[in-house]
Amino acid sequence: MTAQTVTSVPAYLVPAAGSRLERGTIPRRPVGEHDVLIEIKYTGICHTDIHRARDDMGGGVFPMVPGHEIAGVVTAVGPGVTQHRTGDRVGVGCMVDSCRNCDNCRGGQEQFCANGAVETYNSPGPDGGPTYGGYSTHIVVDENFVLRIPEGIPLAEAAPLLCAGITLYSPLVHWNAGPGKKVAVVGLGGLGHMGVKIAHAMGAEVTVLSRTLGKKDDGERLGADHFHATSDPATFERLAGAFDLIISTVSANLELDAYLSLLRTNGTLVNVGAPSAPSSVMLFSLMAGRKTLAGSLIGGIAETQEMLDFCAEHDLGPDIEVVSGEQINEAYERVLTSDVRYRFVIDASTIPAA
């Protein structure tokens, strides 16, 4: 099997909604004119992978290969590729293509493609079949959706930046986190801990709102100025009107009115967590103080590159625990019980040939 002719590669698959992952083999398309073949070195485990594997949001196509935090090395390029060369350290996040023609794509917001961005897994691919993600040894991706990983960032740490990093960087930039701004991050998990590091590097005053004080030392080490337990009702009285920006990374429904009460006049509560049930809110919670309830979804390709460069410049990366392919099922269980500090990353060299 030479690099150029990889067509069938080992992977960990979810055979049916809610099943445990199993070893298997998946097809990869031949390297086309504008394609890059990447030998995957590391892939992060995002909580979204677990939502998808369990089909929490519906629309799952099985067997599924999750994984949208991919870091690796280019082993072949198509003849028309200009941006990447063999041997380059590269990454792939949540998207592998989009229409490139709509206003959002032209504006660098491919994640909001009016025709639907092609997600890294569980999306209809160019050949009609579902795309397969990064729990695998190789992937073929159009060069325009491949990111450059700066020298200073080890590949294992680069992987979680491709989803967790950009998902927090984008709203922090959009809502002007920086010196003089008070930012709260709700939930100290994979996304949340990157939010703390990035907001701190941007110069904001950062508060973690976690369910308990169990991660207080970690939060402060990661860059938080303050840490409060949301299980303590006094927290909500004490912090009323305290924040310019609150970003919730929680995968369950929050009591939105309580969190809106923590905003200053004109403040914004941004949700990036993905609970599957609808939320409710008293509209008066928005009217009093002209507050905004918003959402945010990953970030565009150019912005993702900007985030990687920002992380290299500020010498920051995720706290990771590297696991083997055989440990993915156990890692899923540990994410669900918040027993992760703070992102699991799969070492792709442990994915054996099927």
Residues forming contacts to ligand NAP in the complex (CB under 6 A) are 46-48, 51, 163, 167, 187-192, 210-211, 215, 249-252, 272-274, 296-298, 335, 338, 340
Contact 154, 143 (CB under 8 A): no
Among 17, 61, 73, 99, binds Zn ion (CB under 5 A): 99
274 binds Zn ion (CB under 5 A): no
CB of 254 to ligand NAP, least distance (A): 7
Report if residue 166 touches Zn ion, rule: CB under 5 A.
Answer: no
Of residues 9, 77, 91, 98, which one binds Zn ion by CB under 5 A?
98
CB of 344 to ligand NAP, least distance (A): 9
Six-digit token string for 329: 């099922």
Residue 175, Cβ neighbours under 10 Å: how many?
20
Distance, in Å, from the CA atom of 37 to the CA atom of 88, rounded to the nearest integer, reads 11
Q: What are the residues facing 270 on neighbouring strands?
A: 247, 294
Q: Which of 17, 61, 73, 102 binds Zn ion (CB under 5 A)?
A: 102
Residue 198, strand partner residues: none
- Phi/psi at 295 (5° precision): -130, 165
Minimum CB distance to ligand NAP, residue 141 (Å): 19
Contacts of 336 (CB under 8 A, 6+ apart): 50
111 contacts Zn ion (rule: CB under 5 A)? no
Identify what 273 binds: ligand NAP, Zn ion, none; CB under 5 to 8 Å per kind. ligand NAP
Total residues at interface with Zn ion (CB under 5 A): 8
Whose CA is closest to 66, among 44, 42, 90?
A: 44
- Peptide linkage before 169 cis (omega within 30 of 0): no
76/320 with CB nearer ligand NAP: 320
Smallest gap from residue 41 Cβ to ligand NAP (A) = 20
Residues 6+ apart with CB under 8 A from 148: 83, 84, 88, 89, 90, 91, 305, 308
According to the binding rule CB under 5 A, does residue 163 interact with Zn ion? Answer: yes
Query: Using CB under 5 A, which of the segments 10-18, 29-37, 43-51, 322-330 binds Zn ion?
Result: 43-51
Instruction: Please identify, using beta-carbon distances, which residue of 102 and 297 lies nearer to ligand NAP.
Output: 297
The least distance separating ligand NAP from the CB of residue 278, rounded to whole angstroms, comes to: 15
Cβ–Cβ < 8 Å for 208, 182: no
**Nearest-approach distance from CB 212 to ligand NAP, in angstroms:** 7
